[in-house]
Structure 1
Amino acid sequence: MYTTLKSLGWLISFCLLLVVAFLSLLHTPYAQPVLTPLINKITDQKVTFGGIDYSIQSPLYLTLSDVTIIQEDHLLQIQQVDFWLSQHPIKKGKLAFDSIKIDGLSLQNGLPTNEGIHWISINQLSISNLDFANEDVVLRDAQIQLTNWSVQENTAIPFEGSFQFSTQQLYWQGEALNDVLIDGYYSENYTALHGLSFIWRDSTITAQAELKENTLWVIPQFTLRNFNLESDNADIIGKPLNWLTQQGFTYQFERIDLLDINVELPQFSVNNLSLSAENVLLPYHLWQQSEAAISFNADSVVWNQHLIENPIVNLTLNGKKADITNLSLDIFDGNIQLSGQVSQNAINLKTFTAEQIKWIVTDEEAQAFNQYIKQLIEVKVAKIDFNNVQLIQLNSLYPYQLSGVNVEGNDLDLLRYAQWGLWDGKLSISASNASFNYLLSQQLLIEMNTVNGLWSIERALLPLPEGLIGFTGSIQLMQDSQPWQLEAYGDGLPVSYLSHFISNPIPLDGLTEFTFNGNGLAVNRDSFNYSFNGELNVIPREMITTKTAKELWQYKLGLIPDNDQPNASLETKEKIQEKVPVAQYPIHVDPITVTANRGRITIEPIMITGEGFNYNIEGDYDLVNPEQAEAITSITQECHQLKQKLFSKEVQIINYCQ
């Protein structure tokens, strides 16, 4: 036994002597020749170093300088590496280091391979003065700190735990990011960015983020400050957004702040925009947001060539609707303010105010507005107040121009069951000047209200240059059949205006006095056609035509230029009048009576007499069966006659001459 213990003691002493001898060699010029083959044997890689620094007083600490590692097509050069070996150097079958610090590393061909270093693990890995480049990213003077670094066969990223990254400059997709700083935590199922900040094109970006279940990025805070976007660099936004979309993640922004933003693009520009948003989901579109609160203001916005000044918007997106707390903007030389709820197919406003607006409506704007209107199924406004508003559209089929418009309304229900009307509330409309299809009116006034479903037009007055049009009426909207009645009267209505609504007219001008009483059912088109009753009495006066008997004959045969038609635009007529004085020929028109009984309209014979011709209209017209209409227009000149059915293009020529 004594001999055995004595032999074991000699063995331990011999091993210690070998360790002491090896450690002693680290202080001599023989350190490099001894360590290099050993390292190359362990790592299966060719490693050389220029110097070594070791002290027996710190036996677990070692420094290597001017290190070169050759990996197939990669050459790694490191200025200095500091090693702190763990007090328990073998953990889970790997050589364990408390810390390794790498200073001065250049990776100009991307990341090196991890092969051959799976046998070590590092509690703290620090890399400083790192230069890196591959096809997508370039780093200059970067600093990296990682915890729990260890190469595993089934993981793509060889560390887990906290990390810090900073660099003076990072190039990504051709863009330079300066003063980049990232502080976070990584694990296989959870990643957090506790802080991220960098400068991009003189703009500062800061953010925090958490990746949950490898599908959802939750971003507690994202701030972009002092950002400028112009036409010549508009694609700088598209590239990163496309990249983010391609990653397949969902992004939940708990808070977004865009401060001092300026955009200058051909179709849109904004000056000094500040926007704050909460609970925004991307890439979901506007009407897919749930409880997203957005507020923004700006000095000015140019949209669709319209200048919008001082816009202020506060709203919450909830599902497919937007709750607008406040919207205020200066546009069209006036101001618009509103609050309430808006969606793709419904409008429910608390307040809607417009002052001093002067809007010249373009064809594109009218089409977009009409397209949106067609989608609506509900329109309500609790309080509406327009003051001195002007609306102009001259290029439509029925041009209009309104100025000095004032609107007051309360508790308005304007669209229900896909039917427009005043289902509830009280509404008053006035205008200092109005033109409808070139019919001029001054000091227009319409007052209406609805009580228990009965929509009543209490007063409607349209003063004309030489007369007045007025009407009253009502419709019971809540009854199934929706019975209606209307009484209208007028004096000084131009006959030329009526020709726009009559088929096969002749060029007439003059003034009329009329009365109308009508009633029926309005629940749908068929009910209206079957139930329409009424009587129209017209007394023409000061009647003239601009055609001779021969010209009228040619006109009815379609032998005159199109721009000489009575339905030509007022602008075309004025141009013609400027070139050639228009002759006027007096004619006589008997009083006109038209009656309707359950949709069948009877036209009492209308006789229009002029020099050398007679023009007659008589017969019946059936709203239910318009193709069976028997109303006939005829023009007689001497012993020749042209006959034509109302609303038909076919002309019959009759010769009574012997």
Structure 2
Amino acid sequence: MKFLGKLIIALIAAVLLILLVLYVLLQTRWGAGWLTGWVNQHSGYHITFDEMDHSFSAPSHLVLKNVTFGRNGQPATLVAQKVDIGLSSRQVTEPMHVDTILLYKGTLNLSPSTAPLPFRADRLQLSDMAFNSPKTGWDLSAQRVSGGISPWLPEAGKILGSKADIALSAGSLTLNGMPASNVLVQGEINNNEVTITNLGADIASGALTGNARRLANGGWVVDNLRLSDIRLQTAKSVSDLLQPLTTLPSLALGRVDVTDARLEGPGWAATDLDISLRNLTLVNGSWQSDDGKVSMNASEVVYGSLHFLDPIVNADLSAQGVALRQFSSRWEGGMVRTSGVWQRAGNALTLDELALAGLEYTLPADWKKRWQEKLPAWLQTVTVKKLSGSRNLIIDIDPDWPFQLTALDAWGNNLQLARNGEWGIWGGNATLNAAAATFNRVDVRRPSLTLNANPSTIAISELSAFAGQGMLQATATISQLPQRMTTVSLNGRAVPVNVLHNWGWPQVPLEGDGNLQLTASGSLAADAPLRPSVNGQLQATGKSGQQVQQIMQNGVVPGT
């Protein structure tokens, strides 16, 4: 029995000695190399570390130095100067589930090919780490990341697990090309939903704060978002800048506030921009809202050829459409003001009032082409219940037929300016007066026009102007059918007998002033030249009574 007792004691001593030797060896480079070599040979992972430290002052902690970990044949998932593993009694039954893991000064690289990690911890702590997540739909790169995830139970395809509380900060971060600094994120993961209870960051020289939820279907609910003092310069257009929002299944915005923003991109800019948005959901390329509101003001907004100064917008959003309570702005040297409603049913815009005052506006070079283009699907009808214009200057610099209207006043009622997605004058009545005008280099004074329109015809009941020492008066009708057949009846008294020459009629063999009588018809079809369709008759009487009669057929007057 004494021999058996001595043998047991000897075996225990030998085991303790072996454990002591292993304990000492594992804290050397040789021991670390042997252990990592064994793991690499017998698993699908690759791990290296220089040495393992253990101190009896903290007996439950193992510290690995200069660690590299990843999947065989793949880039390293983790590189860290130090990994501190906190052990507990759980290791008896779950050796790979530890109390804490601290990653210190290194890099985490996560991608779809990242290995499902074999470790678990009640808490994962990061200290001064870098974080990269390319090719995951969120091109994320972060530096100086610190914080914790509790518990950390990683799964295949879910590096943070299905349930966890998160509190992380980053000195700098870039998400889908957008840089930020001093980032703070607090929230939780609950299966496929993510709740961000507190989000803060310095972005584009300004500040971002808010909270949001990511739904299981990939949509987002932003309860509160505030952007202050943003200064953004980008090479993207407005549509490209907002394009990531359109890729989401849905985006519900509860409250969004933008204050004192300055934004600039190719062909667009906004200065001192304030926006307040309430209760708006973007889904399937459209929007939805119940009791929503949007307000905007800025000192300057540029979008393409449009340049607004001090614009103000206030609108209410509902399931039925948009109630535009106010739009006003200084524009083209004058002022524009309107209010109205856009109705989702029928995609119809009805403006209660449109006021234009003091404009100095040069029409775009391609305005005729734009006039003939189809409107977008969301805007099929445009109606102006009341139009008023005062002291406006309108210029067209088309070299083939330029014109200018000076001190133009306008009045209109129930003007339907678009129907079935086509611009036009489809209904209503209007009167235009100007102090002076030039039409294709012919000066006239006090031009005036009165028209009434319906779906079949535009009737111009009065068209007049002073020319030379006399006056021109005309009436006209324009068919609303695609051929736009037009008839004109014009009389001139004591006017230059060749006043019509620059307007397309051949010169008459008379000089000075006289009287004119013209009847003509033609087609103003969009895709065909006017002249070949014109048929008409002109009778001119000179001062001394000489008379000349010319007949035009298919745009040609024989002998001229």
Q: Structures share a fold, TM > 0.5?
A: yes
Aligned position for 1:259: 259
Shift of 1:382: 0.8
Aligned position for 2:333: 333
The root-mean-square deviation of aligned C-alpha atoms, in Å, is 5.4
Aligned position for 1:81: 84
Shift of 1:336: 0.4
Aligned position for 1:555: none
Give the Cα–Cα distance (whole angstroms) in 1 for the partners of residues 332 and 237 of structure 2.
33
Give the Cα–Cα distance (whole angstroms) in 2 for the partners of residues 401 and 240 of structure 1.
39
1:348 aligned onto 2:356: no
Cα contact 2:436–2:446 (8 A) shared by 1 = yes
> Structure 2 vs 1, CA of residues 484 and 539 (structure 1 numbering), >3 Å: closer, same or farther?
closer
> Structure 2 vs 1, CA of residues 509 and 304 (structure 1 numbering), >3 Å: closer, same or farther?
farther
Cα contact 1:43–1:117 (8 A) shared by 2 = no
Deviations 1:386-436 (A, max 9, x none): 111111113243322111111122333456687955734x43322111222
Return 168-177 or 203-212, whichever deviates more.
Answer: 168-177
Give the Cα–Cα distance (whole angstroms) in 1 for the partners of residues 376 and 505 of structure 2.
29
Map 1:7-156 → 2, pairs under 5 A: 32-33=23-24, 48-53=51-56, 62-65=60-63, 67=65, 69=67, 71=69, 81=84, 83=86, 85=88, 96-97=97-98, 99-102=99-102, 105-108=104-107, 110=109, 118=118, 121-131=120-130, 139-152=142-155, 154-156=156-158
Cα contact 2:187–2:195 (8 A) shared by 1 = yes
Map 1:359-398 → 2, pairs under 5 A: 359-365=361-367, 367-369=369-371, 371=373, 378-398=381-401
> Structure 2 vs 1, CA of residues 473 and 89 (structure 1 numbering), >3 Å: closer, same or farther?
same
Give the Cα–Cα distance (whole angstroms) in 2 for the partners of residues 117 and 475 of structure 1.
77
- Please give the secondary structure, in 2, of the residue aligned with 1:149: coil
Give the Cα–Cα distance (whole angstroms) in 1 for the partners of residues 69 and 540 of structure 2.
106
Shift of 1:121: 3.5
Cα contact 1:180–1:197 (8 A) shared by 2 = yes
Query: Which of the two has higher C-alpha Rg?
Result: 1
Aligned position for 2:531: none
Shift of 1:241: 6.9
Cα contact 1:215–1:248 (8 A) shared by 2 = no
For these two proteins, the number of residue pairs brought into alignment is: 509
1:442 aligned onto 2:445: yes
Map 1:407-446 → 2, pairs under 5 A: 407-413=410-416, 420-421=424-425, 423-424=427-428, 426-446=429-449
Letter in 2 for 1:633: P
> Structure 2 vs 1, CA of residues 422 and 100 (structure 1 numbering), >3 Å: closer, same or farther?
closer
Map 1:227-242 → 2, pairs under 5 A: 227-230=230-233, 234=235
Letter in 1 for 2:539: V
Shift of 1:311: 1.0
Give the Cα–Cα distance (whole angstroms) in 1 for the partners of residues 373 and 237 of structure 2.
33
Shift of 1:491: 0.5
Aligned position for 1:289: 287
Return 170-179 or 255-264, whichever deviates more.
Answer: 170-179
Letter in 1 for 2:121: I
Give the Cα–Cα distance (whole angstroms) in 2 for the partners of residues 485 and 224 of structure 1.
59
- Please give the secondary structure, in 1, of the residue aligned with 2:327: strand
Return 432-441 or 327-336, whichever deviates more.
Answer: 432-441
- Please give the secondary structure, in 2, of the residue aligned with 1:33: helix
Q: What 5-or-longer segments of structure 2 have no aligned partner?
A: 41-46, 527-534
Q: What 5-or-longer segments of structure 1 have no aligned partner?
A: 1-9, 56-60, 526-533, 544-587, 593-605, 607-616, 635-643, 645-658
1:170 aligned onto 2:173: yes
- Please give the secondary structure, in 2, of the residue aligned with 1:363: coil
Percentage identity across aligned positions? 16
> Structure 2 vs 1, CA of residues 229 and 369 (structure 1 numbering), >3 Å: closer, same or farther?
farther
Cα contact 1:85–1:96 (8 A) shared by 2 = no
Aligned position for 1:157: 159
Shift of 1:354: 0.8
> Structure 2 vs 1, CA of residues 237 and 62 (structure 1 numbering), >3 Å: closer, same or farther?
farther
- Please give the secondary structure, in 1, of the residue aligned with 2:229: strand
- Please give the secondary structure, in 1, of the residue aligned with 2:88: strand
- Decide which structure has greater helix share: 1
Shift of 1:384: 1.0
- Please give the secondary structure, in 1, of the residue aligned with 2:313: strand
> Structure 2 vs 1, CA of residues 512 and 64 (structure 1 numbering), >3 Å: closer, same or farther?
same
Letter in 1 for 2:308: I
